[in-house]
Amino acid sequence: MSFPKFLIADNTDSPETIFIVHAEFPAFILNLENDEVKWLDDISDESEGDLTKTLESLITEAENFYQREVDRYNL
Cα–Cα distance for residue pair 45/8, rounded to 1 Å:
28
pLDDT in tens, the chain (75 residues): 888 999 999 999 999 999 999 999 899 999 999 999 999 988 777 677 777 888 899 999 999 999 999 999 877
> Count of CB atoms within 10 A of residue 6's CB?
20
For residue 26, say if its preceding peptide bond is cis, omega within 30 degrees of 0.
yes
Residue 38 to residue 74: CA distance in whole angstroms: 29
CB count, 10 Å around CB of 63?
15
pLDDT at 44: 78
